[in-house]
Structure 1
Amino acid sequence: MDLGAYRPVLANRDTRSALVLGFLIRVPMWAGAVILTLHVVSSLGRSYGEAGLVTAASTVAVAVSGPWRGRLLDRIGLRRTVGPSLVVQAVCWSIAPWVGYAPLIGFAALAGLFVVPTFSILRQVIIRSVPTEQRRTALSLDSSATELSFMAGPAIGVWLATSWDTGWALLVCELTSVAAGFVLWLVNPRLTSDTDAVGEQVALDGVGEAGRAEAVAGAVEPDDAPPARAIRGFITVPVAAVYLAAACSTLVLSGTDVSIVAALRSFQATGSIGWVLALWGAGSLVGGLLYGAWHRSFSVFWLLGGLAATTAPVALAVGVPSFAVLITVSGFLCAPTITATVEQLSRQVPERFRGEMMGWHGSAMTAGSAVGAPVAGFAIDHGGWPWGFVVVSALGVVIAVAGMVGSRASRGARAGAGSEAPDEGRVGTPTRGGSADSEHGASAANIGH
């Protein structure tokens, strides 16, 4: 482990700017999410269940928009993608705080469809701006900055909602997010290092869908392996497996979130929820920083298995002190697992598809969160709070083991086919890192959510 690995990453101006801008964008985003719930409950006089429906409408819309917005980033660039989003966001959140419950759901959903894909944009900038060997370290810093913003944002949101009228608090937070998005539009950071991406895409379009699929598959395989068949566009079986791992990781995390609340209520320590969640986030922050300084990467399935395995023992807690220790330990692999999914995808998917890749990544994580909370809730209702941790942990272990076995079998099958099959259907010289690696060579390949 070498903490000095962070020095060259932080010395990179583009990476440093993306990290700072990402933190400033995400803090009002997390704060606005909390204020929206409090606004529905306190100002509109609705139940928490009804507040959850507003959040669900926004979440589903964001999940649906992820691949679409990412595809736009790849095809038309940052400014033409973000510009209309800023207009829709400004209009929606200027009106939404002053309307009734039903219109609020509509405005929240519309804003979700046109949300500025900040996670995708900033992670693409970070990936593009550092050499391949610094990719894990840079993405770990981004995950750690996200944890910091998540720890700060909700606290600020609660303070604003209790100090001001919730309508004004919601307006200020959401328009602050719009202003941060405008800064992103103004800066217009470069997302890819491949200046020939457009011409390459035109060439691929000319060979038809079948040829395009073979070209995409071949571009992400090592030189000694036959190309994998794409399921759709750039999505091969290995890529789909990483998306499944990303979804399962947030399934475990969202289930853990619900189970924490249930456990502390059972211990009659509801007032401890805030600082216990902060400890969980701090564990993730430390784990992310350590993973970024580690000398090598790990398979996302090993990390997912570790995340699930360290979550299960929390069910053995007998009081708040032991619960706090176990939940902190369970947080260590949160950020590394998410980082590994992004890093692994960035190596498997050609650079020209990176916006859409990150969009699908966000949708996968959103889907996992949507499944994890009700699964844990069902387990808690029927067996008590410990079963919330046990069930999501078991699902995580099952997916992780299946992924390990499947990856090993896939590598064996490709190696066997490579010794017999002719090398057909490739475009150029494929590398593990895609077009970014081939452009900059072995010494410094730019990585370019």
Structure 2
Amino acid sequence: MILFLAARPVTAPPVRPAPRRRRARFRPFAPYRRIFAIPGTRAFTAANLLARLPMGMLSISAVLMIAGSRGSYALAGAVTATGLAATALAGPWTARLVDRYGQARTAVPATALATLGSLSLLLCVHYHAPSWTLFASYAATATTPNTGGMSRARWAHLFRDDPAARHTANSFEQAADELCFMLGPVLATLLCTALFPEAGTAVGAALLLTGVLLFAAQRRTEPPVAARTADRPPARSPLRLPGLPSLLLTFLCTGAIFGSLEVVTLAHADAQGIRSAGGAMLALQAAGSCAAGLLYGLLRPSGHPGRRFLGCTAAMAALMLLPLLAAGTGSPVTLAAALLLAGMATAPTMVTGMGLVQSRTPPGQLNEGMTLAVTALLGGIAAGSASGGWAVDHLAPGGAAYGVPVAAAALALTVTLLTSRRHPAAPVS
């Protein structure tokens, strides 16, 4: 038997073909799927988007409503400017209450008061009340909470140990901001012109209140309130935190870009005889920023965030030259393309800047810190609008007024350059 077995030819066992490796699926939006896989994130995001849409509606609705009823754009502009100034003053205080007592307990009554202000404005305009009542009513809307900041605070709490996920979430939030600023004015104009002048304000107020109520109902994703003890010293204002004031100054300059670009673009379109296309051109700028924000969220952040912020502001300053050059050609198509490209540096700059605000602000003051950033933006928008209006009236025709947003972008870059070495990190635990 042994000899028989030994005499058998030795054959190798059959070689089975190696299993084919499955190609890894190309999933470009996997980072976004990952953050929205957390229970409760889709619900609070949908509610927050509903509450955030009116931020692009209410001011233009007020302008159209007041100007249509009183026949004065000067009065309409003065009323909205008063509301903007009141928001800049009241916004940080509302955010401080949110940090101290929680989002649901603070946001709902603050929104109810703001909604009453909008309804009061509507009634005062409709029944031809004295002009001072318009100012008082619109100033009452200043208690509107920073809904975008509250949403970012939830992401920061959920992904407090995951910087890459926070980057993706912040990118989505910035894209959502741009989407609201793109759709809000269009919806407001449609409502005020197709239905009746008060329709934009009424719908905007209803959306704001409904969205905040739905958002506040999502309690499981709400960040906990920081415990306060007797031996714990009171938190100092975020304005005194290292590196934050200089960052807010950059946000102020960035807001000036937005404000001046809006006024100059509308005036340039009017001068070219295409007044109705001005809003579409601005929508293209917001669309470019929205697309860039979503793409930026797919990238894994590398390097120091301070250096990334410097690179983003440099790109923003460089791309802002394109509308200035395109306006000189006299071609609306060229200008529209330039605005689309110029918007692509906006969202990455804002995403990185908001990330720096979060890293330099204690968790218990996060809403206040981000609201200060929004306040700086609003102040810059107001200053930019005034500067852009002056440039339109006093500079030579042909698009020279586009030098105002270019100057604001250069100033933002200069501030970032001067302060980036002074505060290279300045993180707050």
User: Into which bin does the TM-score normalised by the smaller protein fall?
Assistant: 0.7 to 0.9
- Map of 1:8 onto structure 2: 34
CA offsets, 1:74-114, max 9 Å, x none? Answer: 112223312322332343333321212321221110121x2
Deviation of residue 169 (structure 1)? 4.3
Match of 1:398 among 390, 397, 411: 411
Q: Check conservation: 2:251, 2:376, Cα contact below 8 A.
A: yes
Deviation (angstroms), 1:233: 5.0
CA distance in 1, matches of 2:428, 2:403: 37
CA–CA distance in 1 between the matches of 2:315 and 2:270?
A: 27
Within a 5 Å distance, the mapping from 1:50-449 to structure 2 comes to: 50-99=75-124, 100=129, 101-112=131-142, 114-130=143-159, 131-188=162-219, 190-192=221-223, 197-199=226-228, 202-205=230-233, 232-233=237-238, 235-296=240-301, 298=305, 299-317=308-326, 318=329, 319-384=331-396, 386-411=399-424, 432=427, 434=429
Structure showing greater relative contact order (alpha-carbon pairs closer than 8 Å, 6 or more residues apart): 1
Report if aligned partners of 2:44, 2:218 keep a CA contact under 8 Å in 1: no
Residue aligned with 2:198, SS? helix
Task: Number of aligned residue pairs: give it.
Answer: 388
SS at match of 1:166: coil
Q: Distance in 2 between matches of 1:245 and 1:177?
A: 29
**What's the CA shift for 1:33?**
2.5
Q: Distance in 1 between matches of 2:220 and 2:138?
A: 28
Q: Structure 1 residue aligned with 2:61, among 32, 35, 44? A: 35
Q: Percent identity?
A: 23
Distance 1:58 1:241 in 2: 26
Cα displacement (A) at 1:330: 0.2
Partner of residue 19 from structure 1, selected from 45, 57, 61: 45
Classify the secondary structure of the residue corresponding to 1:198.
coil
Q: Do the aligned partners of 1:245 and 1:301 also contact (CA within 8 Å) in 2?
A: no
CA distance 1:264–1:189, change in 2 (3 Å): farther
Give a deviation string over 1:4-49, Cα, whole Å, max 9, x none: 322212222343333322221122342232221111011x223112
The 8 Å contact of residues 279 and 328 in structure 1, kept in 2 or not, is answered as yes
Aligned equivalents of 1:337, 1:2: Cα separation in 2:
22
**Distance (whole Å) between structure 2 residues aligned to residue 3 and residue 117 of structure 1:** 27
> Larger C-alpha radius of gyration, 1 or 2?
2
Q: Which runs of 5+ in 1 are unaligned?
A: 214-231, 415-430, 435-449
Distance 1:81 1:189 in 2: 16
SS state of the match for residue 180, structure 1? helix
Q: Measure the CA separation in 2 of the matches of 1:169 and 1:400.
A: 37
Contact 2:48 2:212 in 1 (8 A): no
1:23 and 1:274 map into 2 onto residues whose CA distance is: 22
CA contact (8 A) 1:5 1:293 kept: yes
Question: What RMSD in Å do the two structures reach over aligned CA positions?
Answer: 2.4
Partners in 2 of 1:402 and 1:154 — Cα distance? 31
Structure 2: runs of 5 or more not aligned: 1-26
Deviation string, structure 1 residues 207-241 (Cα, Å, up to 9, x no partner) = xx7xx66xxxxxxxxxxxxxxxxxx5563341111
Contact 1:259/1:376 (CA < 8 Å) preserved in 2?
yes
Structure 1 contact 161–169 (Cα < 8 Å) conserved: yes
TM-score by length of 2: 0.83
User: Secondary structure of 1:116's match?
Assistant: coil
Q: What is the DSSP-based 3-state SS (H/G/I as helix, E as strand, rest coil) of the residue aligned with 1:204?
A: coil
